[in-house]
Amino acid sequence: MLRGIVIGALGVIVLGALLAFVGVEAGLVPANADAKPSSLERWAARTSLHATLRREAPAAPNPVPLNDANLEAGIKLYAQNCAVCHGAADGHPSNVASGLYQKAPQLAKDGVEDDPDGVTYWKVTHGIRLTGMPAFAASLTDEQRWQVALFLKNMDKLPPVPERLWKSLKKS
Ligand code: HEC
């Protein structure tokens, strides 16, 4: 009886793996970027991202002090590295951003001010797998990644001088 159940269960697993393999090989798993992600894809990506963030994102406050110099450094880094996908202050997506799969949020409209700095720092450092969001650990220093996180946290309440710099950025 037990042997029958084990053999049956193994059979189901092998058949499932075989079907998945044949589906991928036959091109039945969509590879195009000009469609909406399925709800299964969205569920899997979000759930694993949130679980990883709970485990790994630093909970300590931003080590970079909140002042104009650090905010302006964050804005310049954002202009060079992020605006092409996440937009400038006008909130209009670039051609690159319009064609991305998954869509990159246009941060001027759909910002992350509510997220802790450590969460944004983690995303900038490690990127987000299976999306266009790159990992910047190899290209930006630790301080630069915290500066850009500081800017995103305070994007909706910038002091006058950094605010003028941010508003002067054109979409790339
Ligand atoms: C090549 C395009 C691309 C570039 C360049 C890029 N990102 Fe992203 N980013 C994405 C995409 C796509 C997502 C959405 C991922 C998802 O759906 O989970 C994302 C997500 C994010 C998020 C999470 C947004 C949210 O609503 O939770 C943050 C924060 C972020 N990026 C910050 C940055 C910063 C800061 C930079 C520059 C240092 C940057 N990104 C550069 C494509 C990009």
In this structure, what CATH number is given to the domain that contains residue 51?
1.10.760.10
98 and 18 fall within a common domain: no
55 and 3 fall within a common domain: no
How many other C-beta atoms are found inside a 10 Å radius of the C-beta of residue 33?
11
Task: Decide: helix, strand or coil at residue 171.
Answer: coil
Tokens representing 84? 């092409």
Euclidean distance between CA atoms 121 and 57, whole angstroms: 8
15 and 65 fall within a common domain: no
Euclidean distance between CA atoms 104 and 123, whole angstroms: 13
**pTM of the predicted structure, to 2 decimals:** 0.91
Mutate to test the pocket of ligand 1, among 86, 128, 136 (most ligand atoms within 8 A of CB): 86
pLDDT value of position 162: 97
Indicate which atom in ligand 1 lies nearest the CA of residue 115.
27
Give the range of the structural domain holding residue 133, as residue numbers without chain letter. Answer: 39-168
Q: Taking the mean position of all CA atoms in its chain, how far away is CA 28?
A: 27
pLDDT value of position 2: 82
24 and 44 fall within a common domain: no
Euclidean distance between CA atoms 44 and 28, whole angstroms: 19
102 and 27 fall within a common domain: no
Q: Mean pLDDT across the stretch 89-115? A: 93
16-20, 23-27, 167-171: least confidently modelled range? 167-171
Q: Give ligand 1 pocket residues (Cβ under 6 A).
A: 81-82, 84-86, 100, 102, 104-105, 112, 120, 123-124, 128, 131-134, 136, 148, 152
What is the whole-number distance in angstroms between the Cα of residue 7 and the centre of ligand 1? 46
How many other C-beta atoms are found inside a 10 Å radius of the C-beta of residue 127?
15
139 and 94 fall within a common domain: yes
Element (H, E) at 82: none
Q: Mean pLDDT across the stretch 27-53? A: 90
59 and 16 fall within a common domain: no
Checking if the pLDDT of 171 tops 60, the result is no
Euclidean distance between CA atoms 20 and 18, whole angstroms: 5
- Give the angle 35-152-105 at the CA atoms, nearest 5°: 10
